[in-house]
Structure 1
Amino acid sequence: MKFYNLNYRKENINFNQALKKGLGKNQGLFFPMNLPKLNNKIIKDLLNLNFIDRSNYIISLFLDEKEILSNDLKLQITKAFNFPLLLNLIDKNIACLELFHGPTLAFKDFGVRFMAQILNFFNRKKKIIILTATSGDTGAAVAHAFYKIKNIKVVILYPYKKISILQEKLFCTLGNNINTIAIKGNFDDCQRLIKQVFQDKELTKLLYLNSANSINISRVIAQICYYFEAFAQIPLNQKEKKIIFSVPSGNFGNLTAGLIAKTIGLPIYKFIAATNINDTIPRYLNKGYWQPKKTISTLSNAMDVSIPNNWPRIIEIFNKNNWNLNKLESCSITDEQTTRTTINVFNKYKYILEPHTAVSFCALEKQILKKDTFNVFLGTAHPAKFQNYIYKILHKKIILPKILINCIKKKNLSYILSNNFSDLKNFLIKNYVI
């Protein structure tokens, strides 16, 4: 399959090229030339497969066998998706799709680990620099996915003192081929700097650059797979109901994958795009004008994004399907609502939500949960990553998973830079140009 640049539609390339380029001309995102559409029988057969075989089929729809044979693709998927995911039923028609059982305890493990394995497969000994920005969980997922992979070095930008200590420890203590930079600014500053690097002619000549942010199409394609797995795990007595997904949204890659899954043929009735008070998209959908505000730090810090990178892809999906954008539900959740939801859910269901998942549940709860619906809210991070916050509001200690225990006492190896592009450019030239 070919992929085209949303900002320069004459640029048409294959998956391998889109994977390696990340961004196209004019900072354009790549998008599939044709979105596959499967009939009900194929969808039913797919849902009866195991996760790896089903994922192999889904991802192969976007690749050409001339690029990678099916058995080779399956091997990369098997290495990437080597951890469980669980649809945890907390009430008769409410469930959490727990996507946080991977090596860095966040849903980002799915997309980034697939990207790392497939890029390693395609790379022919070129020395690649992976440049990415994180507002929380992406950094850890990228760092661990690419850790010690030969010929690939990683540079991760994150907002200085604006992510949790445990999140920071997960990816800022590795060293080796992983460099981390704390930027004095917010996440939007980090994203701006990344885009400036890719548009700088001198840097693009000196370095073989790629990005592991959700701008990379490989990550979005990988995330399609867990929506199918969610359907496969829905209890038999609930499968005929209208299926609703509430998706915590920052850069909107998660929702993009879900909308592609629906386009392919997965019978999703409705999506709810749940944001925190960085509410560019809810205001745009409700009022019809695009007016990003300054990013505000919240409890759900990985969603502190005012200019979502993946929004152009969502617009493209709606246009291709002739869907009315007004039918996409979206709402903004405050920190106060996030905390209240966490307390209420624990008191009612004895289930612990971290802030991002709480935003997702709160948005779902805002609608009337009818008996003819089955409602899934996405759990995107392990509560242990927010241990202090959980203890403060629930007075309950969470046992830290082994990976967090191992990194918590390690030294933070991050550099600290201003949010001026010249400082980052000088850093890259000094450390990566041979």
Structure 2
Amino acid sequence: MQYLSTRGGVKPVGFSAAVMMGLGTDGGLLLPATVPQVGPAELRDWSDLGFRDLAVELMLPFVGDAIPRADLVALIGRSYATFSHQEITPLVQVGGQRVLELFQGPTAAFKDVALQFLGNVFAYLLARDGGRLNILGATSGDTGSAAIAGVRGKDRIRIFILHPAGRVSPIQERQMTTVLDANVHNIAIRGTFDDGQRIVKGLFNDLHFKQQYHLGAINSINWARILAQIVYYFYAWGRMSRGDPGFRISFAVPTGNFGDIFAGYLAKRMGLPVDRLLIATNRNDILTRFVTGGPYAAGEVHSTLSPAMDIQVASNFERYLYFLVGEDPAAVRALLAALDRTGCMQVTAEQRITLAGDFDAAAVSDAQILDQIRETYERHGYILDPHTAVGVQAARHRADMVCLATAHPAKFNDAVHRAIGIQAPPPPCLRGLLEKETRCVLLDATEEAVRGHIRSTLAASGDRP
């Protein structure tokens, strides 16, 4: 399998190079040159597989000969050994809706599904091929802790994670800053997640700095994260379909950065019988406005009860845009240039028809989030986190939809307590975090400040470019 950039400026590369490159050297995002197709016979055969075995079968065509099958089996086994539920992503019934619980990993968030895998892939490739990797990423909450959990203590890897100071939940902050391993470096920036994302992209686009300091990406700009997320869409279908290739499934996906729902879109392109994909956003509703007929126009980032979705510019949308414009890198570059120049992006009427065929969308307010948490708890005794509540509320009239549960409610107990007057009991991985020692630096939200910190930190540790 070869990988190309959405912007057309990267020579085709294999899976290993795509993972290590992260962001394309032309500033684009990497995608497989062809999307493997899954037929009815494979759907029937895969429907009874456990999560790990299904992951192997799904990933092999994308990995190609970069990782031998036996090694991939071992990698996947290690990646999901840390999950608390034997099914990894169990599907549960909550009243008339089905909820896909993606929070059974070591940091109680859906990001663990991808980042446990990616951390092990990084370690495998570095041990095999040599070298070092300095991971740089920005988080709106859960990515940071999941990324840190995926690589903490691993040889040949250091990780620098940016989070917006005061804009993540106390539990999310402590999940990152209480990890004191020598290879983990937390940075709070005086700004928003979009600022952090801009800084990370800027540093990756500084090719001299990226190559000099061996930067790698662990945000959802890294293709391997999308690949790992495709698996649970097929897994949910298998749990419901009983192997019937004609069975169609729909998903409601709370999303801010578009990575999770893009994985669902790719699953559909591969041949999974998906009926509808519902984009569920909070007040930061750029995606909802665009899908429902408005321009793609970035605005002010609003703080909400679902902070991991407090994003305006969704980086993974570029991957979908590539398909929307007919896999034409020049058209992608033109649209992104218009967005950079004017803050707004428009597509053609024909492309709008395609967009409406691919996605539904709905925006949910903080008041609706609280109402949904309260209603679900009072009716069914099930506690939603505020992000999952966005998806459940958006799909409230669609009982056929599987709602993706993206985080354990105990990670957002301030919102839960406001809604139902009690706190969700924390899983073992969240207990005692607020009493632990922390380590973090506070920096201005500029490329210069972060670049300088990376340089000085690596110099002090004895790492030289």
The TM-score normalised by the length of structure 2 is 0.88
Percent sequence identity over matched residues?
Answer: 31
| Letter of the structure 2 residue corresponding to residue 260 of structure 1 | L
1:108 equivalent to 2:108? Answer no
| Letter of the structure 1 residue corresponding to residue 57 of structure 2 | Y
Moved more, 97-106 or 195-204: 195-204
Instruction: Decide whether the 8 Å contact of 1:7 with 1:25 is kept in 2.
Output: no
Aligned to 2:407: 381
Aligned to 2:345: none
For residues 308-344 of structure 1, give each alpha carbon's deviation from its aligned partner in whole angstroms, at most 9, with x where no partner exists. Answer: 0100112234456998111211111111111111111
Aligned to 2:224: 218
What is the aligned counterpart of 1:356 among 387, 411, 436?
387
Distance 1:242 1:59 in 2: 22
Distance 1:46 1:341 in 2: 34
Aligned to 1:69: 68
Aligned to 2:149: 144
Deviation at residue 360 of structure 1 after TM alignment: 0.5
1:11 equivalent to 2:42? Answer no
Instruction: Decide whether the 8 Å contact of 2:107 with 2:146 is kept in 1.
Output: yes
Paired residue total:
427
Aligned to 2:195: 189
1:121 equivalent to 2:124? Answer yes
Distance 2:180 2:166 in 1: 20
For residues 72-94 of structure 1, give each alpha carbon's deviation from its aligned partner in whole angstroms, at most 9, with x where no partner exists. Answer: 011101111222221011134x2
Distance 2:220 2:250 in 1: 23
| Letter of the structure 1 residue corresponding to residue 112 of structure 2 | D
Distance change >3 Å, CA 307–CA 430, structure 1 → 2: same
Aligned to 1:85: 89
1:171 equivalent to 2:176? Answer yes
Equivalences for 1:28-427 in 2 at 5 Å?
28-65=28-65, 67-82=66-81, 83=83, 84-92=88-96, 94-123=97-126, 124-176=129-181, 177-234=183-240, 242-318=248-324, 324-327=354-357, 328-365=359-396, 367-369=397-399, 374-427=400-453
Deviation at residue 241 of structure 1 after TM alignment: 5.6
| Letter of the structure 2 residue corresponding to residue 225 of structure 1 | V
Deviation at residue 7 of structure 1 after TM alignment: 1.1
Deviation at residue 148 of structure 1 after TM alignment: 0.2
| Letter of the structure 1 residue corresponding to residue 354 of structure 2 | N
For residues 193-225 of structure 1, give each alpha carbon's deviation from its aligned partner in whole angstroms, at most 9, with x where no partner exists. Answer: 101111224422430000100000000000011
Deviation at residue 397 of structure 1 after TM alignment: 3.1
Distance 1:77 1:237 in 2: 24
Deviation at residue 392 of structure 1 after TM alignment: 2.6
Distance 1:149 1:274 in 2: 36
Instruction: Decide whether the 8 Å contact of 1:260 with 1:317 is kept in 2.
Output: no
| Letter of the structure 2 residue corresponding to residue 86 of structure 1 | P
Distance 2:407 2:10 in 1: 39
For residues 98-135 of structure 1, give each alpha carbon's deviation from its aligned partner in whole angstroms, at most 9, with x where no partner exists. Answer: 00010000000011111111111111331210000000
| Letter of the structure 2 residue corresponding to residue 191 of structure 1 | Q
| Letter of the structure 1 residue corresponding to residue 26 of structure 2 | N
Deviation at residue 8 of structure 1 after TM alignment: 2.2
Distance 1:388 1:235 in 2: 37
Distance 2:115 2:434 in 1: 23
Instruction: Decide whether the 8 Å contact of 2:43 with 2:245 is kept in 1.
Output: no
Deviation at residue 240 of structure 1 after TM alignment: 6.5
The TM-score normalised by the length of structure 1 is 0.94
| Letter of the structure 2 residue corresponding to residue 285 of structure 1 | V
Distance change >3 Å, CA 34–CA 399, structure 1 → 2: same
Instruction: Decide whether the 8 Å contact of 2:6 with 2:28 is kept in 1.
Output: yes
| Letter of the structure 2 residue corresponding to residue 160 of structure 1 | A
Distance 2:243 2:57 in 1: 27
Distance change >3 Å, CA 51–CA 253, structure 1 → 2: same
Q: In angstroms, what is the RMSD of aligned CA positions?
A: 1.9
Instruction: Decide whether the 8 Å contact of 1:6 with 1:312 is kept in 2.
Output: yes
Instruction: Decide whether the 8 Å contact of 1:8 with 1:25 is kept in 2.
Output: no
For residues 291-310 of structure 1, give each alpha carbon's deviation from its aligned partner in whole angstroms, at most 9, with x where no partner exists. Answer: 11021111110011100010
Deviation at residue 425 of structure 1 after TM alignment: 1.3
Distance 2:440 2:398 in 1: 46
Deviation at residue 10 of structure 1 after TM alignment: 4.8
Distance 1:256 1:119 in 2: 23
Unaligned runs of 5+ in 1: none
Instruction: Decide whether the 8 Å contact of 1:135 with 1:187 is kept in 2.
Output: yes
Deviation at residue 368 of structure 1 after TM alignment: 4.9
Distance 1:235 1:27 in 2: 40
